[in-house]
């Protein structure tokens, strides 16, 4: 009898641990953006013909991840974390791999823009060659489906010229 009571007690604690683990690790329908590490870029970036430099040139990594209950609570308490419903960030019909590919394309575009702005700030002439916004992918189920297709170039939006 004592053996059965002990076994029942052990099973109860195992069940409680399992439920607790599931509650704290279950992915929620929120995406969290938070700052990561800041990297000094002095050794990675060189400017030809530069004789003086002041200040620091750094890159901060921004991390994004699907929320769990502990991360959601921490995000609500942290002023530097942003929390968004998943559907505001990632359309329902886009899977993680497609979203990751879109983010990589966005990063590549951002890098090109940052390079051009930095060179312009240093006095270099940087020609602008774009005449609009290139449509890379149309998200399945989006309002643009059937109106836009991959490869289209948007030159205006709501009457405003895009450059």
Res 50: pLDDT: 65
CA pair distance 18, 13, nearest whole angstrom: 9
Residue 92 is inside which H or E element, if any?
A: none
- Distance, in Å, from the CA atom of 64 to the CA atom of 71, rounded to the nearest integer, reads 11
Per-residue confidence (pLDDT) for residue 49, from 0 to 100: 67
Strands 58-66 and 30-40: antiparallel
Residue 162: DSSP 8-state = P
Residue 10 has a pLDDT of 87
pLDDT (tens digit, 9 = 90+) per residue, 66-101? 899 999 999 999 999 999 998 888 877 777 788 888
Buried b (16+ CB within 10 A) or exposed e, 33-67: ebeeeeeeeeeeeeeeeeeeeeeeeeeeeeeeeeb
d(CA 2, CA 111): 68
Instruction: Give the residue ranges of the chain where pLDDT is below 70.
Output: 1, 47-53, 163
């Amino acid at each position: 009898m004592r053996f059965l009571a002990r076994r029942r007690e052990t099973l109860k604690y195992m069940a409680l641990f399992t439920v607790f683990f599931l509650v704290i690790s279950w992915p929620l329908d929120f995406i969290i953006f938070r700052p990561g590490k800041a990297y000094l870029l002095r050794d990675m970036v060189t400017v030809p013909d530069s004789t003086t430099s002041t200040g620091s040139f750094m890159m901060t990594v921004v991390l994004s991840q699907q929320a769990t209950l502990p991360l959601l609570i921490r995000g609500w308490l942290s002023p530097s974390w942003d929390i968004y419903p998943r559907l505001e960030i990632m359309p329902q019909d886009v899977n993680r791999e497609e979203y990751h590919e879109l983010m990589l394309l966005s990063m590549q575009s951002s890098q090109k823009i940052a390079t051009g702005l930095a060179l312009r700030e240093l006095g270099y002439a940087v020609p602008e060659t774009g005449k609009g916004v290139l449509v890379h992918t149309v998200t399945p189920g989006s309002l643009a489906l059937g109106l836009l297709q991959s490869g289209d170039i948007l030159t205006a939006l709501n009457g405003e010229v895009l450059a």
